[in-house]
Amino acid sequence: MTGEDERDDGDEGRADQFVCTAAVLDVTPDVVAVSNLGVASYVLAGVADRERNFYQWGSMGVTTPTGLGLALAVDDPVVVFEGDGSLLMSLGVLSTLGAVDPPNLTVVVWDNAIYGTTGGQPNHSASTDFVGVAESCGVPATRVRSEDAFEDAYRAATERDRTELIVCAVEPVDPDTRPPFDFAHIKRRVREELAGE
Protein backbone atom coordinates (compact mmCIF):
# COMPACT_ATOMS: atom_id res chain seq x y z
CA MET A 1 0.00 0.00 0.00
CA THR A 2 1.18 3.50 -0.72
CA GLY A 3 1.22 5.11 2.72
CA GLU A 4 -0.34 8.39 1.64
CA ASP A 5 -3.11 6.78 -0.29
CA GLU A 6 -4.66 3.71 1.30
CA ARG A 7 -7.37 2.44 -0.97
CA ASP A 8 -7.64 -1.26 -0.31
CA ASP A 9 -11.27 -2.16 -0.83
CA GLY A 10 -11.37 -5.35 1.16
CA ASP A 11 -10.63 -9.02 0.55
CA GLU A 12 -13.79 -9.92 -1.31
CA GLY A 13 -14.87 -9.60 -4.90
CA ARG A 14 -13.26 -9.27 -8.29
CA ALA A 15 -13.65 -6.43 -10.75
CA ASP A 16 -14.76 -6.62 -14.39
CA GLN A 17 -11.74 -6.36 -16.70
CA PHE A 18 -13.78 -4.80 -19.53
CA VAL A 19 -15.16 -2.05 -17.28
CA CYS A 20 -11.73 -1.31 -15.84
CA THR A 21 -10.10 -1.24 -19.28
CA ALA A 22 -12.78 1.19 -20.46
CA ALA A 23 -12.18 3.34 -17.37
CA VAL A 24 -8.52 3.77 -18.33
CA LEU A 25 -9.50 5.04 -21.77
CA ASP A 26 -12.11 7.38 -20.21
CA VAL A 27 -9.73 8.85 -17.65
CA THR A 28 -6.81 9.21 -20.11
CA PRO A 29 -8.21 9.31 -23.68
CA ASP A 30 -4.76 9.93 -25.18
CA VAL A 31 -3.06 7.12 -23.25
CA VAL A 32 -0.63 4.88 -25.14
CA ALA A 33 -1.53 1.31 -24.15
CA VAL A 34 0.67 -1.79 -24.26
CA SER A 35 -1.34 -4.95 -23.68
CA ASN A 36 -0.13 -8.39 -22.66
CA LEU A 37 -0.57 -11.26 -25.09
CA GLY A 38 -3.94 -13.00 -24.94
CA VAL A 39 -6.82 -11.92 -22.75
CA ALA A 40 -5.55 -8.41 -21.93
CA SER A 41 -5.23 -7.65 -25.65
CA TYR A 42 -8.52 -9.35 -26.53
CA VAL A 43 -10.33 -7.20 -23.96
CA LEU A 44 -8.62 -3.99 -25.06
CA ALA A 45 -9.47 -4.69 -28.71
CA GLY A 46 -13.08 -5.30 -27.66
CA VAL A 47 -13.31 -2.07 -25.69
CA ALA A 48 -11.69 0.11 -28.38
CA ASP A 49 -9.34 -0.82 -31.22
CA ARG A 50 -7.24 2.35 -31.13
CA GLU A 51 -4.15 3.50 -33.00
CA ARG A 52 -2.47 4.00 -29.64
CA ASN A 53 -2.87 0.33 -28.69
CA PHE A 54 0.25 -1.78 -28.96
CA TYR A 55 -1.11 -5.30 -28.58
CA GLN A 56 1.39 -8.10 -27.98
CA TRP A 57 0.88 -11.37 -29.82
CA GLY A 58 3.78 -13.07 -28.03
CA SER A 59 6.74 -12.01 -25.88
CA MET A 60 5.20 -13.12 -22.61
CA GLY A 61 7.19 -11.45 -19.84
CA VAL A 62 8.19 -8.52 -22.05
CA THR A 63 4.98 -6.48 -21.85
CA THR A 64 6.01 -4.14 -19.05
CA PRO A 65 9.51 -3.56 -20.49
CA THR A 66 7.85 -2.51 -23.76
CA GLY A 67 5.71 -0.02 -21.85
CA LEU A 68 8.84 1.29 -20.14
CA GLY A 69 10.48 1.93 -23.51
CA LEU A 70 7.39 3.77 -24.75
CA ALA A 71 7.27 5.87 -21.60
CA LEU A 72 10.89 6.90 -22.23
CA ALA A 73 10.05 7.97 -25.77
CA VAL A 74 6.77 9.90 -25.47
CA ASP A 75 5.39 12.55 -23.13
CA ASP A 76 1.83 11.21 -23.22
CA PRO A 77 0.65 8.87 -20.47
CA VAL A 78 1.52 5.20 -21.03
CA VAL A 79 -0.39 2.31 -19.49
CA VAL A 80 0.61 -1.35 -19.47
CA PHE A 81 -2.17 -3.93 -19.26
CA GLU A 82 -0.08 -6.70 -17.77
CA GLY A 83 -1.02 -10.30 -16.93
CA ASP A 84 -0.24 -11.79 -13.54
CA GLY A 85 1.42 -14.77 -15.24
CA SER A 86 3.46 -12.57 -17.53
CA LEU A 87 4.63 -10.41 -14.62
CA LEU A 88 5.56 -13.56 -12.67
CA MET A 89 7.76 -14.52 -15.63
CA SER A 90 9.75 -11.30 -15.29
CA LEU A 91 9.45 -9.88 -11.78
CA GLY A 92 12.94 -8.42 -12.20
CA VAL A 93 11.43 -5.71 -14.38
CA LEU A 94 10.02 -4.14 -11.20
CA SER A 95 13.59 -3.39 -10.07
CA THR A 96 14.20 -1.64 -13.38
CA LEU A 97 10.99 0.37 -13.00
CA GLY A 98 11.95 1.37 -9.47
CA ALA A 99 15.30 2.67 -10.71
CA VAL A 100 14.18 4.36 -13.94
CA ASP A 101 10.80 5.61 -12.69
CA PRO A 102 9.41 7.43 -15.73
CA PRO A 103 6.74 9.92 -14.57
CA ASN A 104 4.17 8.97 -17.24
CA LEU A 105 3.95 5.19 -16.73
CA THR A 106 1.23 3.19 -14.96
CA VAL A 107 1.32 -0.60 -14.89
CA VAL A 108 -2.03 -2.33 -14.39
CA VAL A 109 -1.75 -6.02 -13.48
CA TRP A 110 -4.87 -8.06 -14.22
CA ASP A 111 -4.78 -10.53 -11.38
CA ASN A 112 -7.10 -13.31 -12.48
CA ALA A 113 -4.91 -15.84 -10.62
CA ILE A 114 -4.65 -18.00 -13.76
CA TYR A 115 -2.99 -18.37 -17.12
CA GLY A 116 -6.29 -17.32 -18.65
CA THR A 117 -5.35 -17.33 -22.30
CA THR A 118 -4.15 -20.94 -22.27
CA GLY A 119 -7.23 -22.34 -20.59
CA GLY A 120 -7.22 -21.11 -17.03
CA GLN A 121 -4.45 -23.08 -15.35
CA PRO A 122 -3.61 -21.69 -11.88
CA ASN A 123 -0.48 -19.56 -11.44
CA HIS A 124 1.32 -18.43 -8.27
CA SER A 125 -0.69 -15.23 -7.87
CA ALA A 126 -2.34 -16.46 -4.67
CA SER A 127 0.97 -16.89 -2.83
CA THR A 128 2.59 -13.76 -4.29
CA ASP A 129 2.16 -10.32 -2.79
CA PHE A 130 2.54 -8.25 -5.96
CA VAL A 131 2.13 -4.97 -4.06
CA GLY A 132 4.81 -6.00 -1.59
CA VAL A 133 7.21 -7.08 -4.31
CA ALA A 134 6.66 -3.86 -6.28
CA GLU A 135 7.10 -1.61 -3.26
CA SER A 136 10.24 -3.48 -2.21
CA CYS A 137 11.57 -2.65 -5.68
CA GLY A 138 10.78 1.03 -5.27
CA VAL A 139 7.52 1.08 -7.22
CA PRO A 140 4.52 2.47 -5.31
CA ALA A 141 1.67 0.00 -5.66
CA THR A 142 -1.99 -0.46 -4.81
CA ARG A 143 -4.37 -3.41 -4.81
CA VAL A 144 -8.05 -3.05 -5.79
CA ARG A 145 -10.98 -5.41 -6.28
CA SER A 146 -13.81 -3.25 -7.63
CA GLU A 147 -14.38 -1.09 -10.70
CA ASP A 148 -14.82 2.09 -8.65
CA ALA A 149 -11.70 1.52 -6.58
CA PHE A 150 -9.79 0.76 -9.76
CA GLU A 151 -10.87 3.97 -11.47
CA ASP A 152 -9.97 6.02 -8.37
CA ALA A 153 -6.58 4.35 -8.10
CA TYR A 154 -5.84 4.81 -11.80
CA ARG A 155 -6.83 8.47 -11.78
CA ALA A 156 -4.68 9.09 -8.69
CA ALA A 157 -1.71 7.28 -10.24
CA THR A 158 -1.86 9.34 -13.42
CA GLU A 159 -1.99 12.55 -11.40
CA ARG A 160 1.36 11.78 -9.77
CA ASP A 161 4.63 12.14 -11.65
CA ARG A 162 6.03 8.70 -11.00
CA THR A 163 5.67 5.11 -12.13
CA GLU A 164 3.02 3.21 -10.18
CA LEU A 165 1.59 -0.29 -10.24
CA ILE A 166 -2.07 -1.18 -9.70
CA VAL A 167 -2.92 -4.80 -9.02
CA CYS A 168 -6.55 -5.33 -9.95
CA ALA A 169 -8.23 -8.57 -8.95
CA VAL A 170 -10.46 -9.49 -11.88
CA GLU A 171 -12.99 -12.16 -12.71
CA PRO A 172 -11.59 -14.42 -15.45
CA VAL A 173 -13.04 -13.66 -18.89
CA ASP A 174 -12.83 -15.39 -22.25
CA PRO A 175 -13.54 -12.72 -24.86
CA ASP A 176 -14.32 -13.34 -28.54
CA THR A 177 -12.82 -10.05 -29.70
CA ARG A 178 -9.30 -10.02 -31.19
CA PRO A 179 -6.74 -7.38 -32.19
CA PRO A 180 -5.58 -7.36 -35.83
CA PHE A 181 -3.63 -10.57 -36.55
CA ASP A 182 -1.08 -8.69 -38.67
CA PHE A 183 1.53 -7.85 -36.06
CA ALA A 184 3.56 -5.56 -38.34
CA HIS A 185 0.37 -3.62 -39.13
CA ILE A 186 -0.17 -2.98 -35.41
CA LYS A 187 3.32 -1.59 -34.97
CA ARG A 188 3.07 0.55 -38.09
CA ARG A 189 -0.17 2.07 -36.83
CA VAL A 190 1.31 2.88 -33.41
CA ARG A 191 4.54 4.25 -34.82
CA GLU A 192 2.73 6.50 -37.34
CA GLU A 193 0.45 7.78 -34.61
CA LEU A 194 3.27 8.53 -32.16
CA ALA A 195 6.23 9.40 -34.36
CA GLY A 196 4.49 10.42 -37.57
CA GLU A 197 6.39 7.96 -39.76
Partner 1 sequence: MTWIDQAIDGLKRTNIELIAYLPDTTISPLIEATQDDDAFETVLVTREEAAVGVLSGAWLGGRRGALLCQSSGLANTFNALASLSVPARLPFLGIVTRRGDLGEFNLAQVPAGYNMPGLLDELSVRNHSVHDAEDVDDRVEMAAESAFSTETPYVLLLETTVTGYKEESK
Contact residues: Mg ion, CB under 5 A: 83-85, 112, 116
Residues in 36-75 at the binding interface with partner 1, rule: CB under 8 A: 54, 56-74
CA atoms of 137 and 37, how far apart (whole Å) = 24
Angle ∠(45,49,51) on CA atoms, nearest 5: 135
- Per CB under 8 A, does 20 bind partner 1? no
CA atoms of 131 and 149, how far apart (whole Å) = 15
- The answer to whether 70 touches 26, Cβ cutoff 8 Å, is no
Closer to ligand TPP by CB, 104 or 112: give it: 112
Residues in 23-62 at the binding interface with ligand TPP, rule: CB under 6 A: 36-40, 58, 60
- The answer to whether 83 touches 109, Cβ cutoff 8 Å, is yes
Contact of residue 41 among partner 1, ligand TPP, Mg ion, none (CB under 5-8 Å per partner type): none
Closer to partner 1 by CB, 1 or 194: give it: 194
- Per CB under 8 A, does 103 bind partner 1? no
Selection from 32, 19, 86, 46 nearest residue 179 by Cα: 46
Give the number of residues in contact with partner 1, rule: CB under 8 A.
Answer: 39
Q: Where does this chain bind ligand TPP (CB under 6 A)?
A: 36-40, 58, 60, 83-86, 110, 112, 114-118, 123
